[in-house]
Amino acid sequence: MQTHEIRRRFLDHFVKAGHTEVASASLIFDDPNLLFVNAGMVQFKPFFLGQQTPPYDTATSVQKCVRTGDIENVGVTTRHNTFFQMAGNFSFGDYFKRGAIKHAWALLTNSVEDGGYGFDPERLWVTVYLDDDEARDIWKEEAGIPDERIQRRGMADNYWSMGVPGPCGPCSEIYYDRGPEYGVEGGPEADEDRYLEIWNLVFMQNERGDGTGKDSFEILGPLPKQNIDTGMGVERVAFLLQDVDNVYETDLVRPVITKAEELTGRAYGTDHESDVRFRVIADHARTAVMLIADGVNPGNEGRGYVLRRLLRRIVRSAKLLGADKPSMSEFVTVVRDTMSPSYPVLDTDFDRILGVAVGEETAFLRTLASGSKMFESEADEVKAAGKKVFGGSEAFVLHDTYGFPIDLTLEMAAEAGLSVDEDGFRSLMAEQRKRAKEDAQSRKHAHADLSIYKEFVDRGETEFTGFAELTTEATVLALISGGVRVPTATAGQEVEVILDRTPLYAESGGQIADIGVITGPGLRVRVRDVQKIAKKVWVHKVTVEEGQLTEGDAILAQVDAAWRSGATQGHSGTHMVHAALRQVLGPNTTQKGSLNKPGYLRFDFAWQNQLSAHQLADIEAVANEAVAANHTVNTFVTDLNKAKSMGAMALFGENYGDEVRVVEIGGPFSMELCGGTHVQSSAQIGQITILGESSVGSGARRVEAFVGLDSYRYLAKERALLAGVATALKVPSDEVPGRVEQLVERLKVAEKELEATKAAAVLASAGTFVDKAERIGGLLLVAEAAPAGVAGNDLRTLVTDIRGRFGTEPAVVVLLGDADGKVPFVVTANKAAQDLGVKAGDLVAAFGPSIGGRGGGKPEMAQGSGTDAAGIPAALSAVRARVAEMAG
């Protein structure tokens, strides 16, 4: 049975049983405790936590999930995957244990002809919580499972919670016996490789308190309602029904491995080391494609860092398997072909997904080249010192700075005839993980208590009147201070206000919140910010300036008109810039984020390369031409599918409801899904002036612009600046660029002449140092402080010239500088000195501690820098002592 069919049968089974089918949430979810959605119940958490009333009593879904806590184990075993699909059914105070067990048993054991999966009932085992006699009895009564196939397990295995205070309860897990060839007899307690868990039924009936771990928390008491949350692993069921050994052999994963075999010339299944790399490619390719589809871009922190790491592991694994050219596009294409029947966005948005993945591959291949140079330099130094072990700290730097995995470093070291201090490397890795874990733990917190807003969330959305008016009569529904309802607020107090209706825009969609006032008889309240709770309730953050505000008051809510006017210019200007970008750069230039406020806009978009001045000028021109055309701005509400069929642009990663608001400017010129406030015609935006563009991560760029009066003020300032420069240069304004270019060229020539004069002076001092040479044993030594201001390449040039003046006589030259608080140094030993056993790198080790410095190089020459100029005399003494020792 194909995986897509397994998904469909699950949903059909529960829809026929009266459940509402709910689409998978985006992998990016608004939850402070989650980097990615990692379980099927995540989007239903507000219902389980009592923060919102569910719109249905029962639901079913197949949720996309990503777990990245054990990336290093992916491929090492066949049990770890970063991306998986969790099929689930949920009951919110409807059926409980008996219903959950009956539904699961029927789907698993009903024949394929009857819509089930056709599992042999005799091969199914279950576990229950230690004292859950009720669940045990139901399994016996409803499924006929004998006592010997029902095992009791403790809290760590069969008791579920979210990991923070909130709902919890015992669970019952269903296992499939794969047979004696996969392990020992004795049920799940004996061997969880042979007895594979395929479904977990959570009986959510209690509330837990604080604590850590899976079994070290207090049970506070029963929940007001008993709920059901189940999760069936789609991939696990797939490899059982497809009669293969593991998920990597299934219909949605094996094709990626097959493609990797074609590209590398290696065969899967020949040796464990290669198999691990094949599995890494297959697993990470799926996960990366799904993350990009939901709006994640490679970056250096958070979600972006995880995606970058996955993509780079794919590149490294392919390279280690023997791929001799970029292969990311091939893997992404296979994932599209296999996964798009269940996730059509992979097909419709393929060009963007491919561009992000290939862009990261290209960047990382350049990084690999840089890291390889660093490795070669360190390896040469190790061998020059007569050692055989590549340092653990150096391996860690390669990993941390250049993204080299330890297996790549090990392979390169073996090719160079070296081993690697793996213990040292792993110790540093452990320290890093410990710091990261402690940091994550310090930031992790329980779910914010939003229960105080539940009454108003259940009541329905705050009526937003701000599209039609700036002043609205409203009633105060609640005042909240410090998370507690209060009846009144007086002058000087800062509180949150919930109104039944409001004209003030709540921050969303990149547009910051309106400011304004709330007034009444003897009352004046300043509105500083407006935020949404559960996307439904407008919460006004206010300061009472005069009078007393009381729950139930009839008030007047008013938007600051000047603020709103500027905000609408900024938001509509953002749409114009987006449309202009797509017109100039192409349709793959999709939005990654935005910020708009009065007079200013910032727009992030998918693009790999820096924009040229010509492209920026074209974008600005297209946007301003549309402004000048005075297009009418139309807004209307329609269903999501119809809006998309009309060509309306949506923000990737955003979850939209069934009904959406469309903002259309100039017909096909700009059409986007947007809940923000806008001008009535494009001419009201005013001049758009692009300030510039910059990078905000791999595959993402940012443009910033002023609009309206702010644009005029900026251009007026630039004009005044240009006039001042023209006056200073005594040329007309239109000749300023040419005149400045002439001055720059003259400056470059002067700098080159100065550098040449400086270099000549440095070399002229070489003879002085030759005269100061000391004879120690059978060689000559120059160990001196360098001339003031000589550093970098000049220092290296001087040392090389001094060495050359000694001809074939054994000679060592050591010069230490003092420049801007640093102590640069260069050490060289000619061939004759090396034959006597003198190596430049060994001398650095001798004097480096005196100046707080380190460096490296080859036996012929080494260089580096220190931080303590006061130690130069001691360093020079250490050089003389070490040379004397080397020279015997």
| Annotation: binding site | 571, 575, 674, 678
DSSP H helical segments within 805-871, as ranges?
Answer: 831-835, 840-847
Helical spans, DSSP H, in 839-871: 840-847
Cα separation, 541 vs 87, whole angstroms: 40
Q: Which two tokens stand for residue 462?
A: 């705050």
Angle (CA) 143 149 152, round 5°: 105
The C-alpha torsion from 216 through 219 and 223 to 228, rounded to 10°, is 40
Cα–Cα nearest to 394, from 496, 680, 410: 410
End-to-end CA distance of the chain: 80
**Token digits of residue 786:** 């360098």
Distance (Å, whole) CA 836 – CA 819: 33
Strand partners, 280: none
d(C-alpha 467, C-alpha 805), whole Å:
84
The C-alpha atoms of residue 222 and residue 188 are separated, in whole angstroms, by 29
Phi-psi region of 482 (alpha: psi -120 to 50; beta: other; left: phi over 0): left
Tell me how far apart the alpha carbons of residues 548 and 860 are, in angstroms, rounded to a whole number. Answer: 83
Beta-sheet strands, E only, within 141-277: 150-153, 159-161, 166-177, 195-212, 216-233
Cα–Cα distance, 62 to 39 (Å, whole number)? 10
DSSP 285-338: HHHHHHHHHTT----SSHHHHHHHHHHHHHHHHHHHHT--S--HHHHHHHHHHH
What is the C-alpha separation between 585 and 693, in angstroms, rounded?
Answer: 14
574 and 594 in contact (C-beta within 8 Å)? yes
Alpha-carbon torsion (383, 384, 387, 391), positive or negative: negative
Q: Coil, strand or helix: which one is 344?
A: coil
What long-range pairs does 466-470 form, CB within 8 A, spacing at least 24? 466/502, 466/503, 466/504, 466/505, 466/514, 466/559, 466/564, 466/677, 467/635, 467/677, 469/503, 470/503, 470/558, 470/559, 470/561, 470/564
Angle separating helix axes 350-384 and 406-415, nearest 10 degrees: 50
Q: Is 654 helix (H, G, I), strand (E, B) or coil?
A: coil
Cα 815 from chain centre: 47
Separation CA 575–CA 713 (nearest Å): 22
- Beta strands of 729-795 (E only): which ranges? 774-776, 779-785
Which amino acid, residue 606? A
Q: How many CB atoms lie within 10 A of CB 366?
A: 9
Q: How far apart are CA 493 and CA 195, in angstroms?
A: 62
- Nearest-angstrom CA–CA distance, 843 and 886: 10
**Contact indicator for 794, 758 with CB cutoff of 8 Å:** yes
Query: What's the rounded Cα separation, in Å, for the pair 596 and 672?
Result: 15
Contact 303, 593 (CB under 8 A): no
Residue 44 sits at φ, ψ, to 5 deg, of -100, 0
CA separation (Å) from 427 to 1, 430, 434? Answer: 46, 5, 11
Which residues line the annotated binding site for Zn(2+)?
571, 575, 674, 678
